[in-house]
Amino acid sequence: MSEMKQIKNLKQFSTSKERFQGGHRLCPGCSHSIIVREFVNATDDELCVSTATGCLEVCSTIYPYTSWDVSWIHIGFENAAAAISGVEAMHKSLKNNKKSFSDKPMKFIAFAGDGGTYDIGFQSLSGAAERGHDFIYVCLDNEGYMNTGGQRSSSTPIGGATTTSPAGKVSYGEKKLKKDMMQIMAAHGCEYVAQSAPSNWKDMVKKAQKSFAASGPVYINAVSPCPTEWKFDPSMSMEISKVMVESRVVPLYEIENGSKVTVNYKPKNHVPVEEYLGMQGRFKHLFKPSNKHVIEEWQKNVDAKWEYLLRREEAGI
């Protein structure tokens, strides 16, 4: 990685140029805008952004209005990584042939939801990472296809009730564990892979700046609580995010050069998974006596993943 710039403090953020403007139509309490704003405002370099079809695109670019004060491309649900890698390759070619339209440093970012990342966009993301393009891919992970009615994705956690994995008399909701995209992208040999949460903004900004300092493919999994489909009061978004981290449901960690694991935050008094699940309507059925085993499985899986990450960190691999 090249030298990382000093992290902006709160005053610098509040007075810096806004690259993602207000007035968008994202739901009250949606975490997408917070994540995007923290990310694009973390650098003063020129940016080119591609955004897959999804909540962010639909709500931030209702013609003739836009919230984006950067070069921006709307692309299909499945190919945000392909689009931004093509732009990055074009820009590199123009610079090599001394035909670049700007001498300023240019960074390339793709934003997509988990549906457009874990599932139908995985092929273009995998290909772009394998080819080694110099770009940053940010997954706005709200654990489902929220833009199209709240269907399950391979990011939906076990027990989650969605329109395609409903909870009822014969089912407790989603049956499969959430796909581990962090490990998958690290296996591609990405220079930098990290997980972040909007409640821990300094951690997110530091990871954004490390991403901008990288010189190859970067993957960021940014968990994004969704009040509409997770079924909680919009005012609770940051509290939900905080409890996700404190319960270790979402560990804040990074993987550098495909292998070296660092756990960035270790809760001193972590809370049980049950507290996190109890804050959301999508898990309310798990508190029935017949579904108690699902909560126990949740806790077991969270503990096992946490211990695995600590062992990796200690071993330096």
Distance of CA 150 to the CA centre of its chain: 17
Which residue positions in the chain have pLDDT lower than 50? none
What is the per-residue pLDDT across 153-208, written as a single tens digit (0 to 9) for each? Answer: 999 999 999 999 999 999 999 999 999 999 999 999 999 999 999 999 999 999 99
**Could you state, in order of their start, the residue ranges of all structural domains in the chain?**
14-315
What are the structure tokens assigned to 139, written together?
């997954």
d(CA 189, CA 136): 14
Residue 95: the pLDDT is: 86
Candidates 3.60.10.10, 1.10.357.10, 3.40.50.970, 2.10.77.10; CATH matching 14-315: 3.40.50.970
The residue behind tokens 């954004």 is 208
Distance of CA 217 to the CA centre of its chain: 15
Q: In 10 A of CB 1, how many CB atoms? A: 15
Residue 16: the pLDDT is: 75
d(CA 219, CA 190): 7
Q: What is the mean pLDDT of the chain?
A: 94
Residue 99: the pLDDT is: 74
**What pairs with residue 303 in β-bridges?**
none
Q: Output phi, psi for 52, to 5 deg.
A: -70, 155
pTM of the predicted model, to two decimals?
0.95
